[in-house]
Amino acid sequence: MLLDQALDADSIINFVVNDQAIQRADDHPLASWVLTRDTTHMLAWALTGNAPASLPATGKVQRRGPSPSSPQLPRDELGAFFSQMRRVAELAHWSGDEAALLRRQALYLCSYDTSPDTAAWLAEIRRRPQRARAQGWSPDWADARSVATSLTRHGDNGALAAFVATGMGDEIGEAANLNYWAYWLGTDSFPKADDHFMVAAPAQSWDALALLRGLTDRLKPGIGAIDLNIHSVWALLALRRGLLAADPDLSRNLQARVTALLDSTGISAQARQELVSVHYGLRLST
């Protein structure tokens, strides 16, 4: 089921670990192909040892002698991977808009690095002058979104709260966010060569109900990017009014998750207000 994604992840890792001489941003495989969640999580499996949530559950396979529980890279190759990713991110940073996709994806993969200086390095990247305007979309919009979500992996939720407040303050930003979610979660499965699909595609070119199911699964207390997930559900329901009536089981699942989040801590004031709005809409739809 995930064989193609596993092969893609293996190809990327082999390129990064073994090709030390890349000097041009467009020579990199991450420069011309937008990763999906499944491929990214396959990469993360090798980088962190955490199995993808979409991986089918299987019984433990008995083997002779000790065997690894995941395809995690050896320590030296893991260090080489993250070192190369940082170098590539820096190279892409100075290569202009044409390398925006490479920079964004390299930065996101760097966030899986557990080295003590990773959070500070990502925060320093975020503080660099950006070409993007405060609201709406440009290649730097997607970059800022990825950096903000990456920092939540290291306990910094402030960058994401700031991005939700400014980066999705108009219809362009809201549509770009939902288009990206649709692609990331596999609702829109057509491969993308760059990030411009976020604003090139109509905001309703994907299955909204399938997207709501995918986003609902991500409404769990304790998830790092929970504020973005909450906002995305709120924005989708605002865009597609009447969607809740299409699947009563999904509505009940969403209601239970919204209630659990309202009873939890660790979400921003804006996210809480959006949850209250979704909760009210759910009550009206039943």
Give the tokens for residue 234: 């709120």
pLDDT (average), residues 52-57: 74
Q: In percent, how much of the chain has pLDDT > 90? A: 57
- Convert the pLDDT of each residue in 24-46 to its tens digit: 777 899 999 999 999 999 999 99
Residue 58 pLDDT > 70: no
Task: Please name the residues in contact with 257: beta carbons below 8 A apart, sequence gap of 6 or more.
Answer: 216, 219, 220
**Other beta carbons within 10 Å of 176:** 27
Checking 122-129 for CB contacts under 8 A at 24+ apart, the result is 122/147, 122/150, 122/151, 122/154, 123/151, 123/156, 123/159, 125/89, 125/93, 126/151, 126/159, 128/93
Highest-pLDDT range among 61-75, 119-133, 184-198: 184-198
Residue range 90-123, pLDDT digits in tens: 888 888 888 899 999 999 999 999 999 999 999 8
Query: Which segment of 93-102, 158-167, 179-188 scores lowest on mean pLDDT?
Result: 93-102
pLDDT (average), residues 81-85: 93
pLDDT at 202: 72
Q: Predicted confidence band at 132 (pLDDT cuts at 50, 70, 90)?
A: very low
pLDDT category, 133, cuts 50, 70, 90? very low
- CA–CA dist 229, 276 (Å, integer): 14
More confident residue, 200 or 214: 214
Residue 203: pLDDT above 80? no
Strand (E) or helix (H) holding 175? helix 171-184
More confident of the two residues 116 and 137: 116
So what's the pLDDT on residue 180? 95
* Sign, CA torsion 13/19/20/22: negative
Two tokens, residue 143? 């970059």
pLDDT at 55: 75
**Number of helices and strands in the chain (H, E):** 13, 0
Tell me how far apart the alpha carbons of residues 24 and 101 are, in angstroms, rounded to a whole number. Answer: 14
- Predicted local confidence at residue 134, as pLDDT: 44
First to last CA, the chain: 36
Instruction: Output helix, strand, coil percentages for the chain, rounded to the nearest 5.
Output: 60, 0, 40
Q: Considering only CA atoms, which of 229, 283, 231 is closest in space to residue 259?
A: 283
Residues 6+ apart with CB under 8 A from 234: 274, 275, 277, 278
> Where does residue 103 rank: exposed (0-12), middle (13-18), buried (19+ CB within 10 A)?
buried
Q: What is the CA radius of gyration of the chain?
A: 19
